[in-house]
Chain A
Amino acid sequence: MIMTIVRKFTAIFLALSLCLTTVACGGGNQTNSSAKNVNQISTTNLSDGEYQIQQATYDDATGEYNLFLLNNKPPTFATENLQMARLTDDEIKQGKKTYLKVEKGQPILYLTEDFKLEYVHNVTENKTNPQTGQQETVVVRRENSFWAPFAGSVAGSLAGQALGSLLFRPQYYVPPVYQSGQGLSGFGGYGTSYGQAVQNYQTFYNAPPAAVTNRTAFRNTGTIRRSYPGNSTVPNTPRSTIGNNRPSGSGFGSSTLQPSGKSSTTRRNSGSGFGSGRSTAPRRSSSFGRRRR
């Protein structure tokens, strides 16, 4: 009787472990080093629990928080996905200080009212790259400042009673507009998701926050800029496209996805592609996006 149960259990256990190892191997080829991956790893690396904070930095180029943890290895922790909440007065009375809590992999920063995050402001300029002729956003210098998200007076006056109690609940916050030579206090937007916080900021300031604009990569090609109504002369004659049979065209696009920065563009074959794939002969189920013939 017991033997049969043990036998069954062994079979199921073996099957399960086989499944697990397969999955683990399948995921292996993805762990190429890239800045992005490092973040993700550090997010998952920090196990649930509470951590004391030495210092916190916010970078408005990437929207990334960099936290220095006391008595922890590794001592730094970087994430974009950070919720914040104010410590309640009771907790402060009990002598609690600013701390980081990781709950089910989600980092939440509990702040005292006067805690200041270091704020790194990136002064950017649009420059034309002399080699490609394309417009690029370049960081020309960085300025340091402070950001106190829950500095009492501002939070009170700006938000009133209703929001007052919300402050104790973990939410996403976006810093207010940067002013040179002045510390920041209060917040520009808040929400239960980062997207919502950004939206909240946008309704208030009518422009996306710095972290979002700095992340946005805008490209455009073609004649759109030239055919701008103010620019008057739109040649109506058919172009003499000497030596090139291509039709004319224009394009524009912007992306908030951070490119990986890897040099090679190896496409993995994961069977995830979709599309109307026509005529490319033996298409593996995975790869798509056809090469020109």
Chain B
Amino acid sequence: MRDTFNKMIGRTRYVVFRLFLHLGGGEVAPILGVLNSAGRDAIDVDGDLEVLGEGLVEISQTLLQYDEYWLSAANEGDVFWDEGEAGDYVNELFTDSAERYLSEPNYSSDSGSNEPLSIPVTRNVIVMITVAYEGEVPELETDLSNVQALKEGLKALINLHYKHRLKAIQVHFSPAQLGDELTSDQLLQYYPELIPL
């Protein structure tokens, strides 16, 4: 009722959307490279949304190519008619996503003497993507806990960038880099909302 009313008086519809995607298997670690390079690009340009959008496209593309490794997923979101509320929620989600991993690991000068020749390769990677956009995208505003819906959702994310409708983009991932590990127990503990695909 309120939806139609707001639409009628021509208010802008803001949607904030968050996706969790957990990939598992022996060959998932290369994704970390894509994620980190997108992050570096973003830092280089101080968060220019256009560049972040390109990064998002690349990440979504990579995730689509790794569809055999998708193990579980979850999504959530809300619709806003007020930019301020949407902006607040985006900030809230950033903090919530960031809280689930340790962003400042202990860097004692442990590199050097007893460096092992091999590094452990993580068998789990989790990617959290949050976007805010204007308008309506039915592919995203639904339950994405099955493979087909998820594929459509990721494609819709890519399209959103090219339609220039993204207002905010966040990407979080864990573990941070090759050599760090994310165990299944940690997944259960910090990402309870994940639903097996």
Binding site for B on A (CB under 8 A): 22-23, 26-27, 30, 34-37, 105, 126, 195, 199, 202, 207-208, 212-213, 216-228, 233-242, 244-262, 265, 267-268, 270, 272-279, 288-290, 292-293
B191 to chain A, nearest CB (A): 10
Given contacts A248-B175, A276-B193, whether A258 and B84 have CB atoms under 8 Å apart is yes
Inter-chain contact B87/A260, CB cutoff 8 Å? yes
Inter-chain contact A202/B47, CB cutoff 8 Å? no
B188 to chain A, nearest CB (A): 12
Complex: A142 Cα to B173 Cα, angstroms: 39
Of chain B, the residue at the smallest CB distance from A287 is B78
Chain B binding site: helix, strand, loop or mixed by DSSP?
A: mixed
Q: Which of A218, A224, A261, A289 contacts B36 (CB 8 A)?
A: A224
Q: At the interface, yes or no: B128 with Cβ under 8 Å from chain A?
A: yes
Q: Which of B1, B82, B170, B181 contacts A252 (CB 8 A)?
A: B170
Complex: A111 Cα to B45 Cα, angstroms: 35
Of chain B, the residue at the smallest CB distance from A261 is B84
Binding site for A on B (CB under 8 A): 1-3, 5-6, 10, 14, 35-36, 38-40, 42-43, 46-50, 52, 73-88, 90-94, 96-98, 100-108, 110-111, 115-116, 119-120, 128, 130, 132, 141-145, 164, 167-177, 179-183, 186, 189-190, 192-193, 195
Given contacts A241-B105, A247-B182, A279-B192, whether A253 and B141 have CB atoms under 8 Å apart is no
Inter-chain contact B77/A273, CB cutoff 8 Å? yes
Of chain B, the residue at the smallest CB distance from A260 is B84
Inter-chain contact B83/A248, CB cutoff 8 Å? no
| Chain A residue contacts of B105, Cβ below 8 A | 223, 239, 241, 248
Given contacts A258-B87, A279-B192, whether A253 and B101 have CB atoms under 8 Å apart is no
A205 to chain B, nearest CB (A): 12
| Chain B residue contacts of A252, Cβ below 8 A | 38-39, 42-43, 47, 52, 170-172
A231 to chain B, nearest CB (A): 10
Complex: A121 Cα to B91 Cα, angstroms: 27
Chain A binding site: helix, strand, loop or mixed by DSSP?
A: loop
Inter-chain contact A37/B172, CB cutoff 8 Å? no
Q: Which of A226, A242, A276 contacts B195 (CB 8 A)?
A: A276
Inter-chain contact A240/B106, CB cutoff 8 Å? yes
Other CB < 8 Å A-B pairs besides A222-B39, A274-B142, 12 of them? A219-B47, A220-B39, A236-B179, A237-B116, A248-B176, A251-B128, A251-B173, A252-B172, A253-B130, A255-B90, A260-B82, A260-B85
| Chain A residue contacts of B104, Cβ below 8 A | 222
B1 to chain A, nearest CB (A): 7
Inter-chain contact A225/B43, CB cutoff 8 Å? yes
Complex: A37 Cα to B108 Cα, angstroms: 49
Inter-chain contact B192/A247, CB cutoff 8 Å? no
Inter-chain contact B5/A23, CB cutoff 8 Å? yes
Of chain B, the residue at the smallest CB distance from A133 is B104
| Chain B residue contacts of A30, Cβ below 8 A | 81-82
Inter-chain contact B14/A249, CB cutoff 8 Å? no
Q: Which of A37, A237, A275 contacts B82 (CB 8 A)?
A: A37
| Chain B residue contacts of A244, Cβ below 8 A | 102
Of chain A, the residue at the smallest CB distance from B145 is A276
Q: Which of B75, B115, B167 contacts A255 (CB 8 A)?
A: B167
| Chain A residue contacts of B186, Cβ below 8 A | 245-247
A191 to chain B, nearest CB (A): 11
Given contacts A250-B176, A256-B167, whether A277 and B76 have CB atoms under 8 Å apart is yes
Inter-chain contact A253/B83, CB cutoff 8 Å? no
Inter-chain contact B106/A105, CB cutoff 8 Å? no
A129 to chain B, nearest CB (A): 15
Complex: A255 Cα to B166 Cα, angstroms: 9
Inter-chain contact A247/B183, CB cutoff 8 Å? yes
| Chain B residue contacts of A257, Cβ below 8 A | 14, 83-84, 86-87, 90, 132, 167-168
Inter-chain contact A235/B110, CB cutoff 8 Å? yes
Inter-chain contact A249/B82, CB cutoff 8 Å? no
Inter-chain contact B74/A272, CB cutoff 8 Å? no
B196 to chain A, nearest CB (A): 10
Inter-chain contact A222/B47, CB cutoff 8 Å? no
7 shortest interchain CB distances as A-B pairs: A260-B84, A218-B47, A253-B170, A249-B101, A249-B174, A254-B47, A251-B172
